[in-house]
Structures are given as structure tokens and as C-alpha cells.
Amino acid sequence: MKKFYVTTAIDYVNAAPHIGHAYEKIAADVVARYYRLRGFDVFFLTGVDEHGSKVEKSAQAAGKTPIEFCDEISSTFEKSWRNLNLSFDYFIRTTEERHAKVVQSLFTKLKEQGDIYKSTYMGLYCEGCEDFLRERDLDDNGHCPTHKKAPRELAEENYFFKLSKYKPAIKQWLEENPDAVRPEGRRKEVLNQLNDPELTDFSVSRSRKSLSWGIPIPGDDDQVIYVWMDALTNYITGVGYLSDDKQFERYWPADLHLIGKDITKFHSIYWIAFLLAANLPLPKQIYAHGFITVEGQKISKSLGNVIDPNKLVEEFGADAVRFFLMSGTSFDQDGDFSKHEFIRKVNSELANNLGNLVNRTLTLIDKNLDGKIPDCKPEHDLREKANTLHTVFDSCMEKLEFAKAIEAVMATVDQTNKYMNDEKPWTQFKEGKVKEGSEVLYTAVEMLRRVAFQIYPFAPKMASDIWWQLGHDDTLEVIGDSEKPDGFFDMIPVGQKVRNTGPIFKRLEEPDAP
């Protein structure tokens, strides 16, 4: 089996997860489920970043030790992702002992070969970014443009990594591999950053006087390893680097690092430099997606618009949340969450278009065909249209164009609804045209079987419910494990008994509706 290794950024545990965190994790799960259905051996890694000054200060404010605080918040993240029905293979925490060993080993290797050295640095440090900023990076108020706070002047003796040594190789990698960093605009940003002479060697440690919560540097009790070297290394720890050679050889390099656009530099420059220095293969693609806003505003505690994904799932279900976030906006652009638009879109697409098609098709089969799939062939034109749309769907999924992929799925649903309305099988059966009516229903069922395949990565529970109601005793997950290139082109068995147990998706109600 071909392999596919997908990762997400690991989230800071200085606060509970919100819908912005969920957006990326859902996208990674969509990718993982899609490739599993295509017969790939998928490894999906997500997790949390538990070291750094932000975490240390949040723990102090909560009156807890750092590890107590991390245990509590990390469990909240993992629970949230399970509530969203994410199929991750491993949830990594950077406080794991095996991770510390990997980070320390990498640090020692790079130090011994001369890529890490000790020096003193003075600069403007943003705790939100966990990075040094230049004067020209600040906004008109002298604040970090991302975190809206003034950085503080910091001067201390640290260990530095020789980024300058690897900049030419990183540039060459980006130029020779157009898909290495996507979308294209982000790749151009990284190339521009590499051409900046001020982007040079950077700190990979902090003094214990300013930060005690971190992985210790072997042989130097006065320093801890800087958060980015610690955090980025999770991608190799998670698939067994230094702990499971067979697993690491199987899955590394990563096929896809999914990250937010604000950390593109760290992944596309710092991480690549570390891998080059360690003589490890480079990831195949880094994709930096847009952000999610709420009612047009950036997610912020001060604005009071932080949305807990768990509450959304509790109120509306995981499928609805997943479907809306992936269908609303192009993944490379910023998207917006509006509860009113969320309810409108989900009702329109899932309850009305798809849900009603499933319900009326199976009801007619129960009423007219004793609940069994008739011995027919699907209508040629509609089948060919579905095949063409499946080609579009695959292309969009491979390019992470999730909203367009969903449009292709719903186009099949719309065409099938139109076909049913045009052919009127309920009238055909009344007029004694059993053969004609049976052919229409078989065609509709066959389209629904195909739609179940396509909608599964986005709404896995609903897709599985459709699959079961169509009479299948296996699962879509089992089909993904069968090493078939694509079960989409199979045919539903004649004589199979359908299970019409009612609507697959109930309409959502506005919270303030009577």
C-alpha cells in the first residue's frame, strides 16, 4: 500500500481550543479519510505544544504547576478532536519523554557538527510569536501586528542555529519544487524572506532565568531548548524517530504539513533548515491555510467571540460543523463563521437536498419494490455526469480545494434530484410502468452510493448512515482498507435490502426559534 503522512500544527495549551483550532484539524481529517478510502496507508498526527513562556505564565495565573496545567488543557484538546470525529492515529504531547529525547538528540547532533553555537543577542521579543521581531515588523503603534502587543527588549546569552548556512539550499528546494509550499503566494513570501539579509542565525535556546519550562539542554543546566526547535521536531517524534525505526522509515517524509499562514516562516525555513542539517528527507508539501473569523471579526477573548467547538457539536452535531467549515470558503483564504449562515447552509445542502433525496428514494423502493434493489442498470447520461464530477472531485481534493470538492458532490445530488423530478417514478409505478420506475430508482440509489463515498471525508457519520440505509453490511472504513484504488466505481448489489429508518439528517433550528 502507498503511504500518506499528514500532520497539523500543534496548538499551544495556554488556553482551551476554539473554532479556529478546529478548522485546521478538520481539514487534516478530511485529507486522512480521503486517502484511506483510496487505499492508502495513512498516518494522521496532531497534538499540543506544551512548553514556552505563554504556557508557563498561564499555569501560574491558574495557580497550577506547568505540568498540571498541561495535563488539564491537553485533555481538553484531545476530547474536542474526538468530539469532532477526528480519526488521528496519534495525539502527541511535547512533554512526552520520547519527544524530549528526540529534541535533545537533534540539538546535540547539530551542536557537535558546528551548526549550533553560543552567543549573546539583544532584540525585540514577542511572547505571542515566540520569536524576535525587527522594528520594521511592528505596526504604527510599535506592536506586533499579529498579537497587538509591544514586544519587550531582551538580551541574553543563548545558543544559535546557523540558518545562514542553509538559506541557499532552502531557496533551491523551493525553486525546484513549486508545490513544496502552497498556496503559491505563501511560497513567494518565503522566497522573499530568504532574500532578506536580516534573516540570519536565530536563537534555539532560552536562559533558565527567563524561562524554566522547557526541555533542558544536555550538559548546560542554565539553558532550555527554544520552543520552535522543540515544537517542530514533533513531526518526526510522532512517527517513531529514534523510537521505532520501521515506522519512521515507512512514513517519513511527511506528505503534507497543514499549518496556519502565521507560522509559514517557521515551517518553510526553520524546519527545513533543521532537517537539512540533520540530513533527513524534506516534507513533500507545506500548506499554509487562511484563518477563520467570527461574524467578520478576528477571534479574540477581548471581543468575546471565542466559539467552543464542543458546544457547537453538542448543539448541532459534528457532521454539520465539519461540513460547514470545509464548504464555506476556499481553504487558502480567510473564512468566516456565522451561526445564521451555518444553519442556513447545512439545512439547505444536507437536510433538504441530500437528506430528502435519500428519504424519498428509499421510501419509493420500500413501497414499490419490496425494499430491494431492482435488477437494472443506471441511466447512462446521469452516470457519466457523476463520473465526470468525480474526476473534478478528486482533482479538488488533491489540491485541498475542499469547498470546490463539496460543490462537485452537491452537483451530483442536484442532478439526481432533477432526474427524479423529471422522470417521476412515483407516477410511473402508478401507471404500471414498473421497469421504467425501477430503472429510475436504481439510478438514484447508485448516485447516492457514490455520494456517500465522496461526502464521507467531510461528514463521516452521515455518509456511514447513508451507506447502511442503502443496505450495505460492511463499512466505508473497511472498503478503504481493502487496497482498492477507488470503490466509487463499484455497483450496488441487485436484490440488496435497503433500510429506510428515517431522515439521515434532521433540520437544524435557530437557537432563538420558538
- CA–CA separation, 415 vs 386, rounded Å? 9
- CA–CA separation, 95 vs 59, rounded Å? 15
pLDDT at residue number 485: 59
pLDDT at residue number 255: 98
Region 318-345: mean pLDDT is: 94
Cα-to-chain-centroid distance, residue 1: 22
Question: What does the pLDDT look like over 434-486, one tens digit per residue?
Answer: 999 999 999 999 999 999 999 999 999 999 999 999 999 988 877 666 555 56
Amino acid letter, 63 = G
Selection from 121, 127, 128, 124 nearest residue 138 by Cα: 124
pLDDT at residue number 87: 97
What are φ and ψ of residue 228, in 5° steps?
A: -75, -35
The upper half-sphere exposure of residue 391, i.e. CA atoms within 13 Å in the direction of its Cβ, equals 5
More confident residue, 373 or 513: 373
pLDDT at residue number 375: 94
Region 314-335: mean pLDDT is: 94
**pTM score over 0.75:** yes
Cα-to-chain-centroid distance, residue 23: 7
Q: Domains in the chain, start-ordered, CATH in brackets?
A: 349-489 (1.10.730.10)
SS3 321: helix
Cα-to-chain-centroid distance, residue 93: 18
Confidence of residue 514 (pLDDT cuts 50, 70, 90): very low
Percent residues over pLDDT 90 in the chain = 78
- Does the structure show a pLDDT above 50 at 513? no
pLDDT at residue number 145: 84
- CA–CA separation, 33 vs 500, rounded Å? 26
Peptide bond into 309 cis (omega under 30): no
More confident residue, 275 or 483: 275
- CA–CA separation, 326 vs 346, rounded Å? 12
Region 228-244: mean pLDDT is: 97
Is the distance from CB of 44 to CB of 91 less than 8 angstroms? no
What average pLDDT does the chain have?
93
- CA–CA separation, 93 vs 77, rounded Å? 11
Region 144-169: mean pLDDT is: 88
DSSP for residue 349: I
Which positions are annotated as active-site residues? 18, 21, 126, 129, 144, 147, 298, 301
- CA–CA separation, 263 vs 269, rounded Å? 10
Neighbouring CB atoms inside 10 A of 81's CB total 24
More confident residue, 481 or 493: 493
Is the distance from CB of 458 to CB of 322 less than 8 angstroms? yes
DSSP for residue 267: I
Region 324-349: mean pLDDT is: 94
Amino acid letter, 102 = V
pLDDT at residue number 286: 98
Question: What does the pLDDT look like over 68-125, one tens digit per residue?
Answer: 999 999 999 999 999 999 999 999 999 999 999 999 999 999 999 999 999 987 778 7
Question: What does the pLDDT look like over 412-424, one tens digit per residue?
Answer: 999 999 999 999 9
Question: What does the pLDDT look like over 9-57, one tens digit per residue?
Answer: 999 998 889 999 999 999 999 999 999 999 899 999 999 999 988 899 8
pLDDT at residue number 152: 81
- Does the structure show a pLDDT above 80 at 130? no
What are φ and ψ of residue 408, in 5° steps?
A: -65, -40
- CA–CA separation, 310 vs 91, rounded Å? 18
